[in-house]
Structure 1
Amino acid sequence: MKTLNETGDSSVTVSKKKTFFATMKKQKILYFMSIPIVIYVLIFNYLPVWGWTMAFQDYRPGRSFFEQDWVGFAHFIELFNDPHFYLVLRNTLAMSILLLIAGFTIPIVFAVLLNELKDSLFKRSVQTISYLPHFVSWVVVAGIVTKMLSTDGGIVNDLLVGLNLIDQPIQFLAKGEWFWYIVTGADVWKQMGWNSIIFLAAMAGVDPQLYEAARVDGAGRFRRIWHITLPGIRPTIFVILILSIGNLIAIGFERQLLLGNSLTREYAEVLEMYALNYGIGMGRYSFGTAISIFNAMVSIFLLLIANGVFKRYSNTSVM
Structure 2
Amino acid sequence: MGSIDKKVASQVIPNLITTSKNDPDAEVRVCAVSALISIAGKDLNKSTPEVKAVIPVVIAAVKDSDTEVRLAALMAFQSMSFTYSSDDNFNVKLTNELKAAIPVLMETLKDDNEQVRSNAISALSNMGQDTTSLVPVIIQGLKDKNDLVRIGATSVLGSVGIWKRKSEEVVKAVPALITALKEDKNTQVRSNAAYALKFIGEKVAIVVSALIEALKNDLDFQVRSSAASALESLGEKATTAVPVLIEALKKPELRYNAEEALGRIAESWQDNATKLSNQEVDLAISYLETALNIAENPKSEYANLFGFAEGKKRLRRSLNFLKKEKDSRLFSKTRPR
TM-score normalized by the length of structure 2: 0.19
TM-score normalized by the length of structure 1: 0.20
